[in-house]
Amino acid sequence: MQQERSGLFLWLTYRRLQRLAITAAMSRCPRDTSPRILVLRRSLLRTIALTQFRSSISRSCLNPSHRRRSAPSWLLPASTGASSSHSVDAYASETRELAYRLLELMAKAVGAEPPAVLLGVFQGQPQGMRVNYYPPCRQAADRVLGLSPHTDAGGLTLLLQMDNAAVDGLQIKKDGKWFSVNVVDGAFVVNVGDALEIMSNGKFTSVEHRAVIHPAKERISAAMFFYPCPHMMVGPLPEFVKGDKERYGSTSYEDFMKHYFATKLDGRKHLERLKLEQ
């Protein structure tokens, strides 16, 4: 019964999040069929100049153990009010528990004991949420990307793709080819980030992915990012190296993120510099 209530709560929160995403995106994106490049400017990513065919809203989702910080007033449309803020907080709490459980199961699956070691790297650390709106582009859908090829920097990403008209926009790269990830209503796409690939000594692989534009239909997605402790050294954890060689070097999390942003979200280039010769 508890699992049913939890599942229902997450489903209802997901639906409220969809409405929040639509309201927020529509308030910032004019809807027309002319090609329009939306330039994202993020205070935390000033080293990057991105030009993407999308609009997004972001929010830091801090755990109760952290000092509560309110989202900037410009981040949410005035019409959403306190209700949307509560929805995001509740959604962050539910996805946090799911991510922790996934990390434990992943560690057990590859024999990394005790699994609590991996969980401890992420437990109680900040989360980041981003809702993306991708408008249609009739004239140049085959030449315009909603989001350029990249990998995620952190640990895990839980992505919900809105099932509106079953618009497939997420693509992953495998063996040099791009494959679409089909939309499954209410299902999460679980993506491994670069930090987790390094900490697992390559047992989990960070996936290069991108977002494409549909010529006639809009698309909305919501991503929840889970980050490791910002004061740690990013390197293979001993529990994942047993009986093997370290495949990656170690670096401070600060330097790791600086190099990540310096590559301007260009595929897996920043990971290659940390790989050790075998």
User: Does residue 27 belong to any structural domain of this protein?
Assistant: no
Whether the model clears a pTM of 0.75, i.e. scores above it, the answer is no
User: Does residue 93 belong to any structural domain of this protein?
Assistant: no
Total structural domains in the chain? 1
From the list 191, 193, 172, 173, the residue with the least C-alpha distance to 257 is 193
From the list 214, 194, 219, the residue with the least C-alpha distance to 205 is 194
Do residues 172 and 207 touch, judged by C-beta distance below 8 A?
A: yes
Half-sphere exposure of 178 (CA within 13 A, CB side): 13
Half-sphere exposure of 3 (CA within 13 A, CB side): 1
User: Does residue 261 belong to any structural domain of this protein?
Assistant: yes
Cβ neighbours around 222 below 10 Å, total:
23
* Highest-scoring range by mean pLDDT, 38-42, 251-255, 266-270: 251-255
CB-based burial, 56-89: b 16+ in 10 Å, e otherwise: bbbbebbeeeeeeeebeeeebbeebeeebbebbb
User: Does residue 246 belong to any structural domain of this protein?
Assistant: yes
Q: Give the pLDDT of residue 43.
A: 31
User: Does residue 13 belong to any structural domain of this protein?
Assistant: no
User: Does residue 255 belong to any structural domain of this protein?
Assistant: yes
* Full DSSP string of 100-143: HHHHHHHHHHTT-SSTHHHHHHHTT--EEEEEEEE---TTTTTT
pLDDT reading at 146 higher than 60: yes
Q: Give the pLDDT of residue 50.
A: 35
Packing angle of the helix pair 81-109, 2-28 (nearest 10 deg): 120
From the list 71, 77, 44, the residue with the least C-alpha distance to 59 is 71
Q: What is the mean pLDDT of the chain?
A: 74
User: Does residue 121 belong to any structural domain of this protein?
Assistant: no
Phi, psi of 210 (to 5 degrees): -155, 170
Domain that holds residue 212: 128-273
User: Does residue 210 belong to any structural domain of this protein?
Assistant: yes
pLDDT cut 70: percent of the chain above it: 64
From the list 10, 22, 207, 230, the residue with the least C-alpha distance to 99 is 10
Q: Give the pLDDT of residue 237.
A: 95
pLDDT tens column, 205-238: 999 999 888 888 888 888 999 999 888 999 999 9
pLDDT reading at 46 higher than 80: no
Query: Structure tokens of 4?
Result: 């049913």
CATH of the domain at 232: 2.60.120.330
